[in-house]
Amino acid sequence: MADGPVGPGANVDETGVRCRFAPAPTGYLHVGGARTALYSWLFARHNRGTFVLRVEDTDQRRSTEEAIDILKRSLRWLGLDWDEGPDVGGPYGPYIQSERMKGIVAIAEGFLADGRAYRCYCTPGELEDRRRDALSRGETPGYDGRCRHLTDTERAEFGRQGRSFAVRFAMPGHDITVHDVIRGDTTFPADDLKDFVILRSDGSPTYLLAAAVDDVAMRMTHVIRGVDLLPSTPRQVEMMQALGADPPLYAHLPLIVGPDHQPLSKRFGSVAVEAFREQGYLPEAMVNYLGLLGWSFDATTTFFTLQEMIEHFDLARVSKSPAAFDPQKLAWMNGHYIREASDERLASLITEVADEEGFRVDPAVVTEAVPLVKERMRTVAEGLAMLRFLFVDDLEPDEKARKMLGPDRAGLLREAAERLRSVDPWTHEAIQSTLTEIKEEFGLSSKNAFQPIRAAITGALVSPPLFESMELLGKERSLARLEAAAAGAAAGGLDQGSKSEIDDEGGPPAG
């Protein structure tokens, strides 16, 4: 009794492959959605087909104009363009679902007229009560179809009582097999395919109806979406067939989960694409990482440009099991792309991030500093943090730096300030040779000689290369910091009063 699978027969005709990304504009584009969009886009581009962006805003209460803008911005940032959709139009619009409302409602009314749908007068309260009862009796909950065969007089009676009604689609009562490019065939038992609401009692269409109608109207040949929508597929396919349309070919993507294998949530930091952009992740890293979360080309290729992904993308190689989002790997990959990026681009990115934080930097200095931080930053925000000391004079040394600036460092620091004063071309080479001389005269290891100076200059024990940093900072500011540190150290190493431990951790093993 089962229908034939929704087979590869699908309606790919002279229009070629057509697929879409259809988000609900209720917030930000998060990484799961971004990956769905990416795969859909890759599939379309690989097949020289058409990629459509459709905004599913049937739930007017949760949809906002701002969310639509963020969605578009995030998609563009990732490099995913659409051939049809908001802003660009196309032959099968409108691409904002709410603008097709009348047409969608008309189709529901057509189903009503054909007997494929019926009015259901059950109230949400009644439905909820029955659901709870069924559950408590250990039965399978779900609409029992009681309004399916109401007589005209019964309907009239409900109407007289002032009851409103929702419209339900009448399922055929047989099993339905759905074909999925990634998962093969899945059969849903008739008993679990309950009649579902297509028009709410306020007359608005539900997602199930709207998406199905839109997919038919927009001539979609392939629908690539998350597995969470797999159970809705038999219902949508049934409606499409009732419409006399060939359903598209479906591909349900595995979920992206968090490090704990639970659904991705904010607990693990940002999940919004926009937030990654703000922190200074590069779109090429984002797209490369997301592309490999659930898809692979071969055993070893790790880096892909969008073009290379288009070339190799294949739905048949998409994984069936959920993938855990790993922020560390993303950061590593971002570092890789940062190292590949031009200094100019990084400089302007760092300046941008600084601007967004309301932190004033000198773009010229940033440009010169980029080579110093390029290979040690994994995000633009990290790079900016490493350059902070160049733009802030009232540095607050961190705890480790303070310990490095104890009383016993005063001499070294004062000596450095004095000797450096006569360095004329203020170059990192000259700075280095001067400091090296001091180090040798003091009989110190590099670490013991330079770490206090680093602490004085940058306020931290971890920084970009010291000599280059000092060159960039400039002679006067460098000397001022050394003198201030020397004075502070002599004054007793601050509150601690302690003899700053020679942070010579490790030290020569044999004493």
Partner RNA sequence: GGUCCCAUCGUCUAGGGGCCUAGGACACCACCCUCUCAAGGUGGAGACACGGGUUCGAAUCCCGUUGGGACUACCA
Residues in 409-438 that interact with RNA by CB under 7 A: 432
- State yes or no: residue 298 binds RNA (CB under 7 A): yes
Cα-flanking dihedrals φ and ψ of residue 461, to 5°?
-95, -5
Q: Which of residues 340-379 bind RNA (CB under 7 A)?
A: 375-376
Residue of the chain from 3, 5, 11, 24 that contacts RNA (CB under 7 A): 24
CA–CA gap between residue 1 and residue 169 (Å, rounded): 20
- Check residue 316 and report its DSSP letter: G
Residue of the chain from 9, 15, 62, 491 that contacts RNA (CB under 7 A): 62
How far, in whole angstroms, is CA 381 from its chain's centroid?
A: 17
> Cβ closer to RNA: 261 or 499?
261
Instruction: Print the binding letters for residues 300-339 with RNA: x by CB under 7 A, - otherwise.
Output: x-x-------------xx-xxxxxx-x-xx--x--xx--x
CA–CA gap between residue 406 and residue 402 (Å, rounded): 7
Q: Nearest approach, Cβ of 318 to RNA (angstroms)?
A: 8
Helix (H, G, I), strand (E, B) or coil at 134: helix
The CA-atom distances, in angstroms, between 29 and each of 23, 276, 346 are: 8, 11, 25
- State yes or no: residue 450 binds RNA (CB under 7 A): yes
- Please report how the helices 363-373 and 343-357 are oriented relative to each other, as an axis angle in degrees rounded to 10: 120
Cα-Cα-Cα-Cα torsion 260, 265, 269, 274, nearest 10 degrees, comes to 140
Cα angle 5-10-12, degrees, rounded to a multiple of 5: 170
- State yes or no: residue 444 binds RNA (CB under 7 A): no
- State yes or no: residue 489 binds RNA (CB under 7 A): no
> Cβ closer to RNA: 261 or 360?
261
- State yes or no: residue 85 binds RNA (CB under 7 A): no
> Cβ closer to RNA: 11 or 343?
343
- State yes or no: residue 159 binds RNA (CB under 7 A): no
Tokens describing residue 287:
């797209």
Q: Which of 450, 490, 442 is nearest to 470 (CA)?
A: 450
CA–CA gap between residue 90 and residue 453 (Å, rounded): 63
Is residue 457 within 8 Å of 482, Cβ to Cβ?
yes
From 78-86, 101-109, 150-158, 207-215, span contacting RNA (CB under 7 A):
207-215
Q: Nearest approach, Cβ of 358 to RNA (angstroms)?
A: 26
Instruction: Print the binding letters for residues 114-153 with RNA: x by CB under 7 A, - otherwise.
Output: ------x-xxx--x---x---x--x-xxxx----------
**CA gyration radius, the chain:** 32
Structure-token match 């001091």, residue found: 438
Identify whether 72 is a catalytic site residue: no
Which residue stretches of 47-183 are H helix? 65-78, 101-114, 124-136, 152-160
Instruction: Print the binding letters for residues 234-273 with RNA: x by CB under 7 A, - otherwise.
Output: --------------------xx---x-xxx----------
Residue of the chain from 186, 241, 279, 348 that contacts RNA (CB under 7 A): 186
From 154-162, 350-358, 460-468, 480-488, span contacting RNA (CB under 7 A):
460-468
Is residue 109 within 8 Å of 169, Cβ to Cβ?
no
- State yes or no: residue 73 binds RNA (CB under 7 A): no
Residue of the chain from 148, 155, 183, 475 that contacts RNA (CB under 7 A): 183
Q: Nearest approach, Cβ of 420 to RNA (angstroms)?
A: 15
Q: Nearest approach, Cβ of 120 to RNA (angstroms)?
A: 7
> Cβ closer to RNA: 201 or 241?
201
- State yes or no: residue 200 binds RNA (CB under 7 A): yes
Residue of the chain from 12, 466, 473, 486 that contacts RNA (CB under 7 A): 466
> Cβ closer to RNA: 336 or 477?
336
The CA-atom distances, in angstroms, between 8 and each of 187, 211, 251 are: 16, 20, 11
Residue of the chain from 29, 56, 380, 481 that contacts RNA (CB under 7 A): 56
CA–CA gap between residue 75 and residue 288 (Å, rounded): 14
Buried residues in 421-449 as b, exposed as e (16+ CB within 10 A): eebeebebebbbebbeebbeeeebeebbb
Tokens describing residue 312:
């190799």
- State yes or no: residue 399 binds RNA (CB under 7 A): no
> Cβ closer to RNA: 151 or 328?
328
- State yes or no: residue 42 binds RNA (CB under 7 A): no
- State yes or no: residue 463 binds RNA (CB under 7 A): yes
- State yes or no: residue 232 binds RNA (CB under 7 A): yes
> Cβ closer to RNA: 206 or 351?
206
Cα-flanking dihedrals φ and ψ of residue 472, to 5°?
-65, -40
CA–CA gap between residue 172 and residue 111 (Å, rounded): 13
Catalytic residue among 266, 320, 329, 499: 266
Q: Catalytic residue numbers?
A: 266
